[in-house]
Amino acid sequence: MKYDLMVVGAGILGTFHAFAAAKRGYKVLLVEKDSQPVQATVRNFGMVVPSGMAADLLPTALDSLSIYQTLQDQFDISARRNGSWYIASDDQELAMLQELHQRNQQTGYPSSLLSIDEVIRANPVVKKSYAKGALYFPEEFSVNPLQLIYRIIGFIQQEYTVEYRPNTQIISMETGQDEVISEDSAGEQYRASKAIVCNGHDFKTLFPSRFLNSDIELVKLQMMRTKPLQSVSLNGNLLLGRTIRRYESFRNLPSWSAGEKDSDLDKYGIHILFKQELDGSIIIGDSHEYADAHEAEKLSFTMNQSINERMLTEARNIVELPGWDIAEYWAGYYCQSKTDHYYQDDIDGKIYFLTAIGGKGMTLAPGIAEKNIEDIL
């Protein structure tokens, strides 16, 4: 059998490319090397935050919001439109929020500047000693990453007859006269008119020299989740002070600066986020450690508990919870381009590469996939 499109990697990028092609009537094969997606797509906060994107990415992020809503209207993908709160901890961060709000008024993306009292009324756990004010984005989503990806994969198999093959490691891929010929580790061959490789941080299986000699770097994050806290209700995604200084949307504002240095927070790239799950548990994070693609092994696959403790110390400065019992800790890994929003290239107009999207995959993947499929097919 020959497919119109073969997609390698069933993470958020690969799955939405398969979806975008299939709903246009193309015959699609989606392959995943593991029994199910287990990497960056499921090891993140599950925040869909166009507000954090660079200005040139905002239209793509807004397309993603629309796609998520359309899917949620058809069946439960776990998407909750509960908004995002950027909470300033000092006057400079507050000035950046005001400047971004002014820019939003020009672009038409809804946001509201809120006072300290309004922040506390909506999110009583936030300490008044921390908050100087907030910028609220009502259109933004929280999702459960585990539920989201598995439900969408099931949906596109059932509704659009996408052929899905987990436990399929593609080890070679080459272009023919009018097709792409791929082979998996069991020796089975696949033919497709075109292929898209969304390989995450698997740098060494397909086209290793391409990735190992690129500007891609691997990023390790540490996160944690509390035990369920039924007496606490977070009113959306909470993104605090250092997040305002870190996210791309703030980088070109007149008041932006890196802020005061803190040896531990800066060394491990810590900025605090809170997101509540439906069972009442709260995800807290995160940290960032970096290594170039060809030196990815430098990032330990063990947990650094001192980083977790530093994040907890910072989190306690921001919110007052009735308990801080942690149910689980985990590490996530994603790759990002040092010089562009993501890594994109092709071979002979037949094999396309899209990876290294950094921490933006959950927000951008649906919109990127729509545009790419229009261009590629």
CATH number of residue 239's parent domain: 3.30.9.10
Q: Same structural domain for residues 239 and 346?
A: no
Q: What are phi and psi of 247, to 5 degrees?
A: -70, 150
CA dihedral 185, 377, 27, 181 (to 10 degrees): -30
Measure the CA angle with vertex 79, ends 353 and 227; round to 5°. Answer: 105
Same domain? 232 vs 129: yes
pLDDT value at position 301?
82
Same domain assignment for residues 151 and 182: yes
Residues 231 and 315 in one domain: yes
Q: Domain check: are 202 and 237 in the same one?
A: no
Backbone angles phi, psi at 73, to 5 degrees: -70, -25
**DSSP secondary structure letter of residue 303:** -
pLDDT computed for residue 86 by the predictor: 98
What's the confidence (pLDDT) of residue 263?
A: 80
What pLDDT does residue 260 have? 76
Same domain, 228 and 355: no
- What 3 state SS string does 174-228 have? EECCCCEEEEECCCCEEEEEEEEECCCCCCCCCCHHHHHCCCEEEEEEEEEEECC
Predicted local confidence at residue 257, as pLDDT: 87
The CATH number that applies at residue 50 is 3.50.50.60
Q: What domain range is 310 assigned to?
A: 84-138+216-338
Task: Check residue 231 and report its DSSP letter.
Answer: T
pLDDT of residue 120: 96
Task: Note whether 288 and 326 are same-domain residues.
Answer: yes
| pLDDT at site 261 | 79
Kindly state whether residues 181 and 75 are assigned to the same domain: yes
Asked if residue 239 and residue 120 are part of one domain, the reply reads: yes
Which residues are 331's β-sheet partners? 222
Q: How many CA atoms lie within 13 A of 242 on its CB side?
A: 20
User: Are the CB atoms for 227 and 281 separated by under 8 Å?
Assistant: yes
What is the pTM assigned to this prediction?
A: 0.96
* CA–CA separation, 318 and 238 (whole Å): 11
Q: Are 364 and 61 in contact (CB under 8 A)?
A: yes
SS3 168: coil
Residue 276 C-beta-side C-alpha neighbours within 13 Å: 20
Structural domain total, the chain: 2
160: tokens are 């659009």
Whether 275 and 252 map to the same domain: the answer is: yes
Q: Kindly state whether residues 134 and 200 are assigned to the same domain.
A: no
DSSP 285: E
Packing angle, helices 145-160 and 58-74, rounded to 10:
70
Per-residue confidence of the chain (377 residues) as pLDDT tens digits? 899 999 999 999 999 999 999 999 999 999 999 999 999 999 999 999 999 999 999 999 999 999 999 999 999 999 999 999 999 999 999 999 999 999 999 999 999 999 999 999 999 999 999 999 999 999 999 999 989 999 999 999 999 989 999 999 999 999 998 999 999 999 999 999 999 999 999 999 999 999 999 999 999 999 999 999 989 999 999 999 999 999 999 999 999 987 777 788 999 999 999 999 999 999 999 999 999 999 999 998 889 999 999 999 999 999 999 999 999 999 999 999 999 999 999 999 999 999 999 999 999 999 999 999 999 99
In whole angstroms, what separates CA 240 from the centre of its chain? 18
Tokens of 100: 């971004």
**Same domain (yes/no): 242, 334:** yes
